[in-house]
Amino acid sequence: MTNLTLLIPAKNEKDSLPVVLEEIKKLDCKIKVILEKDDLETINSIKEFKCEIVYQKGKGYGDALILGINAVDTKFFCIFNADGSFDPKELDAMKLKFVETKSNFIFASRYEKNSGSDDDTFVTLIGNYFFSYLCKILFNIKIKDILYTFVMGETQAAKKLNLKQTDFTFCIELPIKAHLKMLKITSKGSFERSRIAGQKKVNAFKDGLYILIYIFRLFFKFR
């Protein structure tokens, strides 16, 4: 699928990113890795791979993905983790789901039937259920794993959403704004693998509070 670009935001992933790039190097797609210029260890670890490095001028997970999406020139993009927790074998099923459902975005979910995770924690599990349910109540968004960032989407649709959140609240901004724009978003079962190296970069309580505040900001702005 040469009309697909994988977007891989990475920070301090020198141990896992080369393994991920080795696993996906034969896929029929473009690969863009978004990195900070001073992350020299990660940059040096992937010099042998055929991928484009997009350098961040700002900071944050959302900043990396907004930069990446704006740099995409293919019809579709897919957010792909640098820690090895996403299985590239699921990409074909996500593409098929696009065709079957005529959706604008496909959101992978660890909480569908025959899905799961080897990397989820009790805190993130509860948090995802809570925020998914809250968005269902407030916005009628029917995604069971709304913070999971294994997302495939139409590039032009994403570019028109005016995404601005530079931190982890990007994860909630994307589905809510897509829904408010009357775009079709569909959930698909997925299995999250154990990460190859490193630890979660999300602070469950601090980021959870920011996400909660942002959800209500959008609710009161657009209701």
Q: Which pLDDT does position 134 carry in this prediction?
A: 97
Identify residue 172 by its one-letter amino acid code.
Answer: I
What topology does CATH give the domain 4-222?
A: Spore Coat Polysaccharide Biosynthesis Protein SpsA; Chain A (3.90.550)
Give the C-alpha separation, 156 to 159, whole Å.
Answer: 5
Per-residue pLDDT reduced to its tens digit, 150-159: 999 999 999 9
Q: Please state whether beta strands 151-154 and 76-79 pair in parallel, antiparallel, or not at all (unpaired).
A: antiparallel
Give the C-alpha separation, 31 to 80, whole Å.
Answer: 10
Give the C-alpha separation, 184 to 4, whole Å.
Answer: 19
Q: Which pLDDT does position 31 carry in this prediction?
A: 97
**pLDDT-based confidence at residue 13 (cuts at 50, 70, 90):** very high
Q: Which pLDDT does position 167 carry in this prediction?
A: 94
Q: Which pLDDT does position 197 carry in this prediction?
A: 82
Query: Which burial class, exposed, middle or buried, applies to 156 when counting CB atoms under 10 A from its CB (0-12, 13-18, 19+)?
Result: exposed
Please check the confidence at residue 120 and state whether its pLDDT lies above 80. Answer: yes
Tell me the three state secondary structure of residue 115.
coil
Per-residue pLDDT reduced to its tens digit, 165-219: 999 999 999 999 999 999 999 999 999 999 998 767 778 888 899 999 999 999 9
**pLDDT-based confidence at residue 121 (cuts at 50, 70, 90):** confident
Per domain, the residue ranges of the chain are 4-222
Provide the percentage of residues in the chain whose pLDDT is more than 90.
87
